[in-house]
Amino acid sequence: MTLSIADHLAARLGFLFPDDALPLEALTHKSYRNEHPECACDDNERLEFLGDAVLDLAISQLLFQRQPLLPEGELTRLRAEVVSEGALAKIGCQLELGALLRLGRGESRSGGREKPSLLANAVEALLGAVFLASGFAAAQDVVERLFAPSLAEAQASRQGGDFKTRLQELLQGERGLPPTYRMLPPSGPDHERRYCAEVLFADDVLGRG
């Protein structure tokens, strides 16, 4: 028995479409439509547009809930990392979307099934399709499931990242000015000099090391 596209995607997305119409559109590249004008469904560009907005909102809400102490600038940076083309393409590979994409012959021959941009677009289009089929709550469930590893990686990267840059962004964003740095006179004997610097904000010493 041949499985439908909806059945193929159900286990991968954790969501079952009521029929094949929306998932087929989400997986149809414009090159396929150009070669098959008789095709009943549109290409996936409009669904991609919708899915991009759904994804941004879903990730924004998840970050807002999970990171109550982060300022807007940090949240924006985390979101950009999670929804980057590379992160989306990785999810597209994990879902094995390349094999399901409907491409024109030329696009397929030129490696379209492995192109990060096409895989990323297909992920967004599928999220748009889930939203149209069952609303935002269902789409957010899918996003939370698919993007859990990306969210964890981004948060871990932030915690182990460049602390000087993070301090600078935090003070610039909240106080409107960056910190300043001051070298202190070296100490210790000539053969074992110790160097120390201070970080200051508005003449207050924030730290020394």
* Residue pair 127/143 in contact by the 8 Å Cβ criterion: yes
Q: Which of 25, 43, 48, 52 is catalytic?
A: 52
Residues 160-189 have a mean pLDDT of 70
pLDDT of residue 34: 81
Is there a single domain that holds both residue 26 and residue 82?
yes
Residue 136 has pLDDT above 70, yes or no: yes
Task: Indicate the average pLDDT of the chain.
Answer: 86
Least confident of 43-47, 54-58, 68-72: 68-72
pLDDT of residue 1: 43
CA dist., res. 143 & res. 113, Å (int): 22
Residues 179-206 have a mean pLDDT of 71
Residues 52-56 have a mean pLDDT of 98
Is there a single domain that holds both residue 107 and residue 44?
yes
Is there a single domain that holds both residue 199 and residue 149?
no
Residue 162 has pLDDT above 60, yes or no: no
Residue 56 has pLDDT above 80, yes or no: yes
Q: Which helix (H) or strand (E) holds 52?
A: helix 45-66
Is there a single domain that holds both residue 171 and residue 155?
no
Is there a single domain that holds both residue 157 and residue 193?
no
pLDDT of residue 159: 61
Is there a single domain that holds both residue 66 and residue 106?
yes
The answer to whether 38 is a known catalytic residue is no
% of the chain beyond a pLDDT of 70: 88
Residues 14-28 have a mean pLDDT of 94
% of the chain beyond a pLDDT of 90: 50
Is there a single domain that holds both residue 100 and residue 189?
no
Is there a single domain that holds both residue 21 and residue 121?
yes
What is the maximum alpha-carbon separation in the chain?
A: 84
Contacts for 116 with CB less than 8 Å, ≥ 6 apart:
85, 86, 88, 89, 92
Burial class (CB in 10 A: 0-12, 13-18, 19+), 108: middle
Q: Which of 25, 43, 107, 124 is catalytic?
A: 124
Nearest to 114 by CA among 124, 128, 103: 103
Is there a single domain that holds both residue 156 and residue 65?
yes
Residues 79-101 have a mean pLDDT of 94
pLDDT of residue 208: 75
State the amino acid at position 2 in one-letter form.
Answer: T
Residue 160 has pLDDT above 60, yes or no: no
Residues 119-143 have a mean pLDDT of 97
pLDDT band at 190 (very low <50, low <70, confident <90, very high): low
Query: What is the domain extent for residue 187?
Result: 166-208
Is there a single domain that holds both residue 56 and residue 137?
yes
Residues 157-186 have a mean pLDDT of 70
pLDDT of residue 83: 95
What are all long-range contacts of 145-152, with beta carbons under 8 Å and residues at least 24 apart? 145/13, 145/14, 146/13, 146/91, 146/95, 147/59, 147/62, 147/82, 147/87, 147/91, 150/81, 150/82, 150/87, 150/90, 150/91, 151/59, 151/62, 151/63, 151/66, 151/82
Is there a single domain that holds both residue 147 and residue 76?
yes
* Residue pair 124/52 in contact by the 8 Å Cβ criterion: yes
The answer to whether 81 is a known catalytic residue is no
Residue 203 has pLDDT above 70, yes or no: yes
Q: For residue 180, is it left (φ>0), alpha (ψ between -120 and 50) or beta?
A: beta
Is there a single domain that holds both residue 90 and residue 173?
no
Domain count, the chain: 2
pLDDT of residue 186: 65
